[in-house]
Amino acid sequence: MESRAVASPEGSCYLPGSLVWEAMGAALDEARRARARGEVPVGAVLLWGGRILCRAHNLREIRGDPLAHAECLVLGEAARRLGRWRLDEATVVVTLEPCPMCAGALLQARVPLLVYGAADPKAGAAGTLYDLTDDPRLNHRLRVVRGVRAAEAGQLLREFFAGRR
């Protein structure tokens, strides 16, 4: 288990490593829910004040909605619950590296810290294929912690896609 603390570049978001580990566990539970529903197994949680505020998993197939990625769903739910679009005290924990759409949504919401599990070599936009999270041309950046419980997250994805082939 990862035990070191995690903080945003500005120091506005400090998390003990045990909280990050547990939050990824909750995101993995969401990914398993997605898999059980026939969705690509990606789960996300949004932390606010050191606690899980909301959680979601992919619902693209069920909703017929290309925007129903786990990250976008937790951002939308958090904005509704908090009554604000600026989520500048949030941490988003997701099982798979965000795609360009989701990385853009995180930036637009001003999320300071992203934690992800498995890297995505085909669509990852937080450092693997692209890096929208640290692009100096944009007006916001976010700190990224990569590879938390990556083996578990990757295994869920491999099993899901192996069953589809």
Q: Is 10 a catalytic residue?
A: no
**Burial class of residue 21 (count of CB atoms within 10 Å of its CB; 0-12, 13-18, 19+):** middle
Q: What residue type is assigned to position 8 of the chain?
A: S
- Nearest C-alpha neighbor of 73 from the set 49, 98, 50: 98
Of these residues, 30, 71, 152, 159, which one is catalytic? 71
Q: What is the dihedral of CA 50, 112, 11, 94, to 10 degrees?
A: 50
Active site residues: 71
